[in-house]
Every structure is written in C-alpha cells, then in structure tokens.
Amino acid sequence: MTIGKRVAFVEKGLVKVEEFQVNEPGAKEVLIKSTSTLICSGTEGAFLMAMPNTSNSFPQYPGYSNAGIIEAVGSDVVDRSCGEKVVSWTNHASHVLEDAANILPFPDNLSFDDATFFALASIALNGVRKATIELGESVAVMGQGLVGQLALQLARLSGAVPLIAIDLLNARLGASMKSGADLTINPGEKDLNGEIKRLTGGKGVNVVIEATGNPDAIPVACKLVRPYGRVILLGSPRGETKINFYSEVHAKSVTMIGSYMRPSYESYHSSWTDKDDAKLILKLLDQGRLKVRHLVTRKMPYYEATEAYLQVINKSTLGIILDWQHHR
C-alpha cells in the first residue's frame, strides 16, 4: 500500500500537508506521480480565505496545475504508457488519479516546471480568444498576477498594439515588461484614466481584459474602454459590483464578455475546445513563444506548503511551484 502526501485547506486560513492512501487506477484511469504543481494564487488564495463566490466549505484539496509521470495505467487504457510525462487538471499531491482522456503528454525537452503553466495559460487564452483582438488594436490588461501576465503575452501574440499592463505593485509591472508590455501604469502613482486617454489619443482602449478579480475594478475597466470596445471579465469577481450600466456600457455600446472556464474539453468558442487550447499552450511553451520562468518567484518543497500559502495571502510572490521530488 502506497501512502501519499497532499495539500489540504483544513479550515479558513489553515493549510496542512496530510497523508492519504494512494489507490490503484480504475479501468480508464492513470496514476500519476507528481513532479511539480503550480499554485494559482488568486483562485486558491480566495478559496483558502473563504472569499465571496467560493465554496466556503472545508476541508478542500486545492490545485489544478499538475505535471508528473505516469506510474500505472488502468486495464482499458491503450494510448498512454508508464513513464510518460503528462499534465493534468489535478491537485497538489504526490500522486493523483485521473481519467486517461483528460491528461496531455508534453515534449521531453519541456521542463515539468514550465509545463505546470498549461492550466493558467489555457484560462488566459479563453479570455483572449473571446476578446477577438485584431492586429493593431489597443489592449489594457488590469491585474498582473499569473493569469494577467499570461493574458498579456497571448494578447501580444494576437497583435495588440499598444499593449498596456496595469497593476498596483511595481514588482509585477517589472515582470510585465518581460512579458512584452509596451507600457505599464500603476494607478496608485498615476491617474489611470488620464494616462489611458493620453496613450490612445483620448479614445480609450479597444479592449480591457480585467484579471484582478476585484469587483471594484469592473466599473474602472468600463471607463477605460472606448465606445464599441470590449471588456473581458477574466478574473473571477470576489463580490458584487455596482455600476451605472447606462453611462458606462449602454451609452458607449460596450460589449462585456464573461470568461469563466471549467475544464470539460467541450467547444466554448467557435471550434476551439479546452483540450485544443491546452495542447496549443504546451506547444507555445515548448517553442519559447510563451515565457514563464520570470513568473516564478519561488520553488518550494511540498512540505513547506503552509509557508507558501502564507506568502500567497500576503501577496509577496507572483508564482510558486511546489516540488514533489524534494524529500526531507
């Protein structure tokens, strides 16, 4: 019998690493031995602190950005094999079971750490696709956490000019320049609306991608976008928003688009599916067209998960990878 380790949110604000029994894979499942998992600071931090629009139930077993090696396959699995490097939307644990249809292999020359970004980058791509950015359109990305940084890069690949990064933390804006931003704005230091008007000849931007998850940021996004522009709600709002829809949306003919993604591998936009996006992200990572190493603040052994989430809550990091190969 194999005993594994996993991260658990035991109660609000309390994180522990606990043991569990690792089961054999079912007929259509594979057993994956984890190598690296990426913490999604925004979503996981919100669930840990029981913020609005989260489950507010405990215990929870967080995580959905896992890279590892197949250790065993079920009797009906014919297209996957032991020793294969794969990613999956599974939690922070030493071993995970997943339906073989829901995992994706990745190239040998792509590192496990880089591969863990497949999930958050797929989420960001969902929003960028829905923005339907045309070459030369101006785009502002509000919030430069991991999803915002990835959305910034994908908007650049889509032809955004100029590409503007917005955040209250200068350290994150420094990372944004490495992610390809043409310009950065810290609203705590400059008049955000005035700067956007100045940079766009008084028109406002064509697209605002809201990636903060702060409900108060949505009315601001609507002020920054020009008439007939689009606002993409990429971040999950943690609370209710008060907005004058007449002046900020209706009168300007602004289009607001929600961009929540729950992995189902079904088509969500035109002919693209979640699996298509994940495969594309792995290709972009492998080709170096999507860059993520500058987004990792720390790599920590899994048994320091309590400290890792403390840093998440204090917003002192950008990306944290948990190392499941590092033993005491």
When pLDDT is averaged across residues 201-207 and rounded to a whole number, the result is 96
Rounded distance between C-alpha atoms, residue 165 and residue 182, angstroms: 8
- 3-state secondary structure at position 324: coil
Cβ neighbors of 69 (< 8 A, separation 6 or more) are 32, 33, 35, 83, 84, 85, 86
Domains of the chain: 2-117+292-323 (3.90.180.10), 120-258 (3.40.50.720)
**Residue 301 near residue 88, CB atoms below 8 Å:** no
According to DSSP, the β-strands at 225-233 and 255-258 are: parallel
Residue 57 has pLDDT above 80, yes or no: yes
Provide mean pLDDT across the span 168-190: 96
Residue 6 pLDDT greater than 60, yes or no? yes
Residue 216 CA to residue 280 CA, distance in Å, equals: 33
The pLDDT-based confidence of 270 (bands split at 50, 70, 90) is low
pLDDT at 174 over 60: yes
Model confidence over 82-92: pLDDT tens digits?
A: 999 999 999 99
pLDDT in tens, 120-163: 999 999 999 999 999 999 999 999 999 999 999 999 999 999 99
> How far apart (Å, rounded) are the C-alpha atoms in residues 102 and 172?
33
Per-residue model confidence (pLDDT) at position 320? 97
Taking 60 as the threshold, does the pLDDT of residue 265 lie above it? no
C-alpha span between 160 and 232 (Å, rounded): 15
Q: Could you give the CA distance from residue 307 to residue 164 in angstroms, rounded to a whole number?
A: 33
Q: Is the pLDDT of residue 264 over 70?
A: no
Residue type, 281: I
Q: Are the C-beta atoms of 19 and 3 separated by less than 8 Å?
A: yes
Quick one: pLDDT at residue 119? 96
